[in-house]
Amino acid sequence: CFIDKDRGVSVINTLEIMVVKENESPLMYKIKPGECFYYSTKDKNLKMRISAPFYEPLEVNRNLENAPEEEKIELKPDDYKMAVYYFSIKDIKGGNPDEQVALIKQKRGQLENLISNNAIIYQVYDNNTYGIERLDKQKYITLVTTPTTSLKNLNVIEMKKDIKGKIVSIKFKIATTDEKNN
């Protein structure tokens, strides 16, 4: 099972697990938040690459001869990516209109600092033609700072940062109500 190293709870994203075997193509698995991953093999060693949008990638190598049946693997959260996500979905409903304006300005400022000016941002649409739209930093910030209930359905698919910690790439989708209920 997979645990958030800082919080001690299940990871909050879908995980991608790549099982790497010698002289074979890697096997890809997707694990939903809170689910465990089970893999049976007769091999003596297991090599996995684990990735998730809000966590640092992790490579795991295990000698299976003395390994326990089940173990908890800790994933280190990527604080910058978590912060961008948090500020993107953060509710800005305040008491009076002045408080709401102040909250929007605060949220815009925080996102402005975390996202690179040259960030490549894509919104993915699930429809019959499979659409994708590229947004610039300001369009993205405007989208996520405009009060709307659809932000509760914001699903980050992928986020990348540069060596300075600035977010340089975001791929996201806003799920429809039907998708959320599946």
Section 16-25 average pLDDT: 90
Distance CA 131, CA 163 (A): 31
How far from the centroid of its chain's Cα atoms is residue 97's Cα?
32
Q: Which helix (H) or strand (E) holds 105?
A: helix 97-114
Structure tokens, 57: 């990638």
**Positions of CATH 3.10.450 in the chain:** 79-180
Quote the pTM value. Answer: 0.60
CATH of domain 79-180: 3.10.450
pLDDT at 46: 86
pLDDT tens track for 57-114: 899 998 888 877 888 889 988 877 777 777 666 665 556 677 777 777 888 888 899 8
pLDDT tens track for 75-84: 988 877 777 7
Burial class (CB within 10 angstroms; exposed 0-12, middle 13-18, buried 19+) of 119 = buried
25 Cβ neighbours under 8 A, 6+ residues apart:
none
